[in-house]
């Protein structure tokens, strides 16, 4: 049984977290440095952005967890540490500061940064904030850590679940940041997930790499894939279950728990897109293959015209068909059905690729809700997929017009 619980990234046994303002960001009321620590070494896995321009922290993290092990995560916001000549040195320096304060190997530290690209990052404020950061480590520190990784996010993103695995009570939870510069093809945000499940590193990587194909790779806010973003997963084994070393019932249970956390974080990220007022979920059914379903769902939620229509609560279903048509997916356009759905109800707007009579008033009422589902039936097979996005508003341009200043 899967049960949602409080605690976020510190819900699992043995994990503590904290967040402080150290001086990287100008706004002293906002945390800009976060730390997550396990009391024992963990199996570790990660996935990284597909952008060829990658932040120095990703290079360092990839090297540090090459052995499938880690014990801590340090992350700053306000500066991406990307395209800096001394970026690797700074990222390694952040790991060294954690090592110095916690007496764990620097090579067991995951390093992450988010914020403005191309701005020099000094270790001085980070070094100055380390004592407070370590002092504040707490089993209740998830929220402060979540605040410390935010950039243009308007809300902290945390979730955790409890479940049974191998006869033991286990937990998995996480925090995320992501509001803009988000587009399919891993990683497109920062996500830190922790669990007390005992699992072999190779299977942990397999679980994460598999899961993101249907979760984080199915989000788009603005069509821009970030340079810095990644998802990391640490499991310390403190739940006491027999280590998962092969696929089977326990591995499937862990995958379900992981997916429950990642889907929840996906919805939070998409719903908090820069300037967004609505979460858009596109559900595709009846596809010939899973790949076709994914391609269609992604294309719909990436359409700027469709996103603008959702902002205006305009049931312009032609934009859905248009996005499917240029997606490159092999579909029979004469079989496609489309409907819009929210807490106010569902209304069919297209049947067999053509418009049908519907009430514009009822459609508008449905589309004025905060969460909108676009239901696309391809009627050509048994496969499906879901993608998440948001509406496109005036505020998106305002936010990104003066992002640096």
pLDDT in tens, 136-168: 999 999 999 999 999 878 889 999 999 999 999
- pLDDT at position 189 over 90: no
Q: In the chain, where are the structural domains located?
A: 3-271, 279-401
Residue 72 CA to residue 41 CA, distance in Å, equals: 8
The 8-class DSSP code of residue 86 comes to T
Residue 365 CB coordination number (10 Å): 15
What's the mean per-residue pLDDT of the chain?
93
The answer to whether 320 touches 338, Cβ cutoff 8 Å, is yes
- pLDDT at position 238 over 60: yes
Residue 83 CA to residue 216 CA, distance in Å, equals: 25
> By percentage, how much of the chain surpasses pLDDT 90?
82
The answer to whether 199 touches 48, Cβ cutoff 8 Å, is no
Kindly indicate the confidence band of residue 404, based on its pLDDT and cuts at 50, 70 and 90: low
According to CATH, the superfamily of the domain at 279-401 is ArgJ beta chain, C-terminal domain (3.10.20.340)
pLDDT of residue 187: 42
pLDDT of residue 242: 97
Kindly indicate the confidence band of residue 78, based on its pLDDT and cuts at 50, 70 and 90: very high
Tokens 């480590």 sit on residue:
137
Residue 65 CA to residue 101 CA, distance in Å, equals: 20
pLDDT of residue 103: 96
pTM of the entire predicted model: 0.88
Instruction: Tell me which range, 190-204, 227-241, 390-404, is most confidently predicted by mean pLDDT.
Output: 190-204
Residue of 188, 269, 176 lying closest to 224 (CA atoms): 188
What would the mean pLDDT of 114-119 be, rounded to a whole number? 89
What would the mean pLDDT of 196-203 be, rounded to a whole number? 98
Q: If residue 196 lies in a helix (H) or strand (E), which one and from where to where?
A: none
Centroid of chain to Cα 103: 30
pLDDT of residue 183: 55
> By percentage, how much of the chain surpasses pLDDT 70?
94
Kindly indicate the confidence band of residue 178, based on its pLDDT and cuts at 50, 70 and 90: confident
Cα dist from 367 to 64, 84, 315, 321, whole Å: 47, 44, 7, 18
Residue 207 CA to residue 193 CA, distance in Å, equals: 13
Sign of the four-CA dihedral 355, 358, 360, 362: negative
What would the mean pLDDT of 371-383 be, rounded to a whole number? 98
pLDDT of residue 179: 63
Indicate the class that CATH gives domain 3-271: alpha beta
Residue 156 CA to residue 294 CA, distance in Å, equals: 28
Kindly indicate the confidence band of residue 184, based on its pLDDT and cuts at 50, 70 and 90: low
Catalytic sites, residue numbers = 188
Kindly indicate the confidence band of residue 229, based on its pLDDT and cuts at 50, 70 and 90: confident
Residue 401 CA to residue 78 CA, distance in Å, equals: 17
| Residue 372 main-chain phi, psi, to 5 deg | -120, 135
pLDDT of residue 223: 57
The answer to whether 7 touches 172, Cβ cutoff 8 Å, is no
Residue of 352, 378, 374 lying closest to 363 (CA atoms): 374
Residue 260 CA to residue 264 CA, distance in Å, equals: 6
């Amino acid at each position: 049984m899967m049960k949602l619980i409080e605690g976020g990234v510190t819900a699992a046994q043995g994990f503590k977290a904290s967040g402080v303002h150290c001086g990287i960001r100008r706004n002293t009321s906002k945390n800009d440095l976060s730390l997550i620590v396990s009391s024992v070494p963990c199996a570790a896995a990660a996935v990284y952005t597909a952008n060829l321009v990658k932040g120095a922290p990703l290079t360092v993290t990839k090297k540090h967890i090459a052995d499938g092990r880690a014990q801590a995560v340090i992350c700053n916001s306000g500066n991406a540490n990307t395209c800096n000549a001394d970026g690797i040195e700074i990222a390694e320096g952040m790991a060294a500061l954690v090592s110095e304060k916690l007496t764990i190997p620097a090579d067991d530290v995951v390093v992450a940064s988010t914020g403005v690209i191309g701005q020099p990052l000094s270790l001085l404020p980070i070094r100055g904030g380390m004592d407070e950061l370590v002092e504040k480590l707490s089993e209740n520190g998830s929220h402060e850590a979540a605040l410390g990784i935010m950039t243009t996010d308007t809300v902290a993103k945390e979730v955790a679940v409890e479940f049974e695995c191998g006869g033991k009570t286990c937990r998995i939870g996480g925090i995320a940041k992501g509001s803009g510069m988000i587009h399919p093809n891993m990683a497109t945000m920062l996500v830190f997930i922790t669990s007390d499940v005992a699992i072999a590193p190779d299977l942990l990587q397999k679980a994460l790499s598999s899961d993101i194909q249907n979760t984080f790779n199915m989000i788009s806010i603005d069509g821009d894939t970030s340079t810095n973003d990644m998802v990391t997963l640490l499991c310390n084994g403190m739940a006491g279950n027999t280590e998962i070393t092969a696929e089977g019932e326990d591995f499937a249970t862990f995958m379900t728990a992981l997916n429950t956390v990642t889907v929840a974080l996906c919805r939070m990220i998409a719903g908090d897109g820069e300037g967004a007022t609505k979460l858009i979920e596109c559900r595709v059914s009846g596809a010939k293959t899973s790949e076709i379903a994914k391609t269609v769902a992604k294309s719909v939620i990436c359409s700027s015209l469709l996103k603008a229509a959702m902002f205006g609560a305009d049931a312009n279903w032609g934009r859905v068909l248009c996005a499917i048509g240029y997606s490159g997916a092999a579909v029979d356009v004469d079989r496609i059905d489309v409907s819009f759905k929210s807490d106010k109800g569902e209304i069919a707007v297209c049947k067999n690729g053509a418009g049908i009579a519907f009430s514009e008033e009822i459609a508008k009422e449905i589309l004025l809700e905060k969460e909108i589902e676009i239901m696309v039936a391809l009627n050509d097979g048994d496969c499906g997929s879901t993608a998440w996005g948001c509406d496109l508003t005036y505020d998106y341009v305002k936010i990104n017009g003066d992002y640096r200043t």
